[in-house]
Amino acid sequence: MENNGLALRIARILYEKKALDITVLRVSHLTVITDYMVIATGRSSLQVKALADDVDDALAMDGVTLRAKEGQQEGQWIVLDYGTVLVHIFHPEARKFYHLERLWEDGENRVPLAFLEEENGEKPQA
């Protein structure tokens, strides 16, 4: 699966599982750590953990291997490492505190999410 496609697939999974404030950032020009970051919020620690499990389960069925997982015990900030895509799933207070977008968004690297634009009545960008 292409990196952009993987990031969008993860965003879609999170959307379908009712994650909030889903953001995909292309960061390959800013860091060598990864190409994309997917950032989302769960409503509670329990939902944060469930969202991480849902992403991992769905991608495992697609044959995508999880390299590392951090934060599962606490459920405040879970990071899933798929190599070219890092997934950050936050509890609302942790998302507000760390505000990763402030660190990684450069004004031009946010990836449009067609399913969110359609939901908001906007025409998806090409």
Total tally of structural domains belonging to the chain = 1
Q: What is the CATH number of the domain that holds 93?
A: 3.30.460.10
122 in a structural domain: no
User: 75-86: per-residue pLDDT in tens?
Assistant: 999 999 999 999
Band (98; pLDDT cuts 50, 70, 90): very high
The answer as to whether 18 is a domain residue is yes
In a domain? residue 46? yes
Distance (Å, rounded) from C-alpha 37 to C-alpha 104?
Answer: 9
Distance CA 116, CA 24 (A): 12
Which domain range does residue 105 map to?
Answer: 3-115
Section 1-25 average pLDDT: 92
Q: 126 lies in a domain?
A: no
By CB atoms closer than 10 A (0-12, 13-18, 19+), residue 19 is buried
pLDDT at position 123 is 53
In a domain, 123, yes or no: no
Do the domain assignments include residue 121? no
